[in-house]
Amino acid sequence: MSHILIVSPCGTSTLTNQVDAEIRKLLNTTADAQEKDLAPEQKAILEPYIAQRRSEILQTDITSVRNWSAELNGILGYYNGQIPPKSDVHILLATATYQGQQTANIIQSWLEKQGCHVQIASSSQYLNVSNAENFRIAMNELVEWAENTLPGYRKSNYKIVFNLTGGFKSVNGFLQAMGMFYADECVYIFQNSSELIRIPRLPVKLDPEGIIGQNLMVFRLLGQMEKKHTLPVNQCQEIPETLLYQVGDEVELSEWGRLVWNRCKDDYYSEKLLPPLSEKIRYSEVFKRTFAALPADRKLIVNQRLDQLSHCLDTNQTHNPNSLDFKKLKHNPYPPSTHECDAWSDQDAKRIFGHFEDDIFVIDKLDKGLH
């Protein structure tokens, strides 16, 4: 791997290290507050203090900055106290709080001053860990972010490193587990130390008892990110409680369930034609034979597209993303097919063709798109 991506959760050490008691007390009091929640007198104290801290950190050298910021201590420790190469990428996981945003911005500015490429990942909910429910929501969001972001870097031959020197203990515990799925290694530096501790990714068998394979339809329904799908409890009794989150008589995937499903699903989707999620879809024998001859990577894409088509039909075509593009054919060029949708748009660009028989959409064939 020629490049490195370092993911660093941000805590508040950049603001709280080497600070007097009065400021520390105010920082602790407002630690969970967003900017809109701060009283004018609180902002009047915090704004000049943060501006001063920012100026001090931007002007300090490598040795000193490692004492100011745990996150930068971890990053610089990974590079043996040297400035990171400009080809590497740094993603800072920032909380939605005022202090979280300010801390991440200071760290970003210091790294960018050294010529580093830096991104801040944040949202209205991200890492809002003031209570158990917020923590659960935030961890689900973190899994979704990781799934949407990190595989792309891996495909581009980046080594993925989780720098867990800074951040919050509760979040870092979850990130340590996530590292077994998404990172090549996790690194730490203990407080008041400069020695880097490396924890490589261990080989993990994700579904040793075949739970997902035995309940594949349930996981497929629960795992539809765009739907935030729930199912009745009685339909999920074979699935371990740790993989589910129950609200009343309904369940959804827990943060652990979504993590495991995201890492396992491609194996199942690339193996064989999966039954449709919707009762409104039926496969023709021609389509089944064509699918069986596809390579694994195309089977994966077609199964994903069929899940989208199920959702599209179940919502009376209100859910019709660009990646699906379900539409009626003009001038009836492929009888009996009357409709088409995307299968894949790269390589030889195939489409899925079908027709309705009453309320059932029969998938006739997989073929080249019309020009």
All residues at 6 or more sequence positions from 186 whose CB lies less than 8 Å from its CB, including other chains: 161, 162, 163, 164, 175, 176, 179, 198, 199
Handedness of CA 64, 4, 202, 10 (dihedral sign): positive
Estimate to the nearest angstrom the gap between the alpha carbon of 96 and the chain centroid: 17
Task: Give residue 210's region: left, alpha or beta (phi > 0; psi -120 to 50).
Answer: left
Give pLDDT, residue 15. Answer: 93
Token pair for 135:
């923590």
- Residues 102/108, Cβ–Cβ less than 8 Å: no
Judged by DSSP in three states, 307 sits in: helix
Continuous H helices in 255-336: 255-269, 285-292, 296-314
Instruction: Please enumerate in sequence order all residues whose Cβ is within 8 A of that of 268, keeping only pairs 6 or more positions apart, or say none.
Output: 212, 213, 216, 274
Q: Which residue has the tokens 């043996």?
A: 80
User: Do the first three CATH levels of 3-200 and 272-371 match, i.e. the same topology?
Assistant: no
Residue-level length of the chain: 371
Would you give the distance in Å from CA 346 to the centre of its chain?
A: 24
- Would you say 253 and 246 are in contact if contact means Cβ atoms under 8 Å apart? no
Contact (Cβ atoms closer than 8 angstroms) between residue 103 and residue 212: no
Return per-residue pLDDT of the chain as tens, 371 residues.
579 999 999 988 899 988 889 999 999 999 888 889 999 999 999 999 999 999 999 999 898 899 899 999 999 999 999 999 999 999 999 988 899 899 999 999 999 999 999 999 875 554 555 677 777 777 888 888 888 899 899 999 999 999 999 988 888 888 988 888 899 999 999 766 678 899 888 766 667 568 898 999 999 999 875 556 789 999 999 898 888 988 889 999 988 888 888 888 999 999 999 999 999 999 999 999 999 999 999 999 999 999 999 999 999 999 999 999 999 998 878 889 999 999 998 888 899 999 999 999 999 999 987 65
Concatenated DSSP letters of 179-210: HHHH-SEEEE--TT----EEEEPPP--S-TT-
pLDDT at position 123: 56
CATH of domain 272-371: 3.30.2310.20
pLDDT given for residue 227 in this prediction: 55
Residue 364 burial (C-beta neighbours within 10 Å; 0-12, 13-18, 19+):
buried
Residue 244's DSSP bridge partners are: 253
Q: Terminal CA-to-CA distance of the chain, rounded, Å?
A: 40
Strands 250-253 and 244-247: antiparallel
> What is the reported pTM?
0.77
Q: What is residue 224's predicted lDDT score, i.e. its pLDDT?
A: 79
- Residue 229 CA: distances (Å) to CA of 60, 225, 245, 334: 50, 8, 12, 35
What is the CATH topology of the domain spanning 3-200?
Answer: Rossmann fold (3.40.50)
> What residue ranges do the domains of the chain occupy?
3-200, 208-269, 272-371
- Tell me the three state secondary structure of residue 364: strand
